[in-house]
A = this chain, B = another copy of it.
Amino acid sequence: MEFNFNKAIYLQITDLFCDEILVKKWNNGDRIPSVRELAINIEVNPNTVMRTYSYLQEKGIVYNKRGIGYFLTDDAFEKTLKMRKEEFIKQDLPVIFKTVKLLDINFDDLKTLYNEFESNK
């Protein structure tokens, strides 16, 4: 049996960073922290941050200017939203729906619970 379900750290950092984009902590075109700066802040190896930024660069969410730093692209927010939405729908939702069925929860109940959640916020 396997008991280590940790995601790779660079992917965990990616998730956190994307969250920050979605809540507008960073906006399209913004300069974002340098690899070294972020690495110190969150106490990980700079190489790990590098992998995060490279990954986001592949996705067209960040780009870099040699010798200057990393920046969000002009459609970083939209791309992040799309990427995360796809991940959520393809990876998370099936698990959630499976659980909902296993627990014999009616979909209408979910609607009720969602409304409660909304009103508490």
Binding site for B on A (CB under 8 A): 1, 3-6, 9, 12, 19, 22-23, 42-44, 58, 81, 84-85, 88-89, 92-94, 96-97, 99-100, 102-105, 107, 110-111, 113-114, 117-118
Contact = CB atoms under 8 A, between A and B. Distances in A.
21 contacts: A1-B43, A3-B6, A3-B44, A4-B6, A5-B5, A5-B6, A6-B6, A22-B102, A22-B103, A58-B58, A85-B104, A88-B103, A93-B110, A96-B96, A97-B113, A97-B114, A97-B117, A100-B114, A107-B111, A107-B114, A110-B110
B58 A1 contact: no
A58 B12 CA distance: 20
A9 B4 CA distance: 9
A88 to B, nearest CB: 6
A19 B85 CA distance: 28
Given A4-B6, A6-B4, A88 B99 contact: yes
A113 to B, nearest CB: 6
